[in-house]
Amino acid sequence: MIDFNFYLITDRTQCVADTLEEQVEKACEAGLKAVQLREKDLPDRELLRYADALRAVTDRYNTKLFINDRVDVAMMAGADGVHLRETSVSPDEIKRLAPDLLVGASVHSLEKAKQAEEDGADFVLFGPIFDTPSKRQYGKPKGLVALQEISQFMKIPVFAVGGIKPGNAERCIEYNADGVAGISSVMAAEDPSKIMESYKKLWGTL
């Protein structure tokens, strides 16, 4: 069940705290309900170490843990779900292998969003909505109108991603996003709890 509104995506290179686990824990203390481990450059053993560390943190706060693109690591770490790229295996393949895992999917068009939904994804991330360095490889921002158009055709939750900050997240909600996903606004924050409180005001809960 998708019972969260804000979806934190990790990037240890932006992390202000001494460790990634510390930064995530501060967000969890403030009410974070879902986090995706997205350290794509790590070798397998190191990725699993981070997954185990975040599992220990998220377990303490009843926060869902997703692993980017690696169902094997997700299963070994006891994560709640896996997050797929457009070029990953399809969600239904994940569901056949691990029926209990939640599956999120990043998409950049209505066609891909509908395909992910039909294939069994539990939610999608659509973007980039705003300009952001981490998403420039996908071209120009999709914008709020495209977000609204996709949201009205989807039965599963649609999360806005790309350049999301507390100051513009409300605009995404106004354009029918079910939630938002963010990286730098929390990862690079000196005090993640304050940022999380700003997001929490949008829904009353995270």
pLDDT in tens, 164-194: 999 999 999 999 999 999 999 999 999 999 9
Residue 146 lies in a domain: yes
Q: What is the count of structural domains for the chain?
A: 1
Residue 14 lies in a domain: yes
Please report, for the domain that includes residue 75, its CATH number. 3.20.20.70
Instruction: Please state the pTM of the whole predicted model.
Output: 0.96
Residue 1 lies in a domain: no
At 175 the three-state DSSP class reads: coil
N residues, the chain: 206
CA–CA dist 167, 158 (Å, integer): 19
Domain residues for the domain of 110 are: 6-203
Q: How many CB atoms lie within 10 A of CB 90?
A: 17
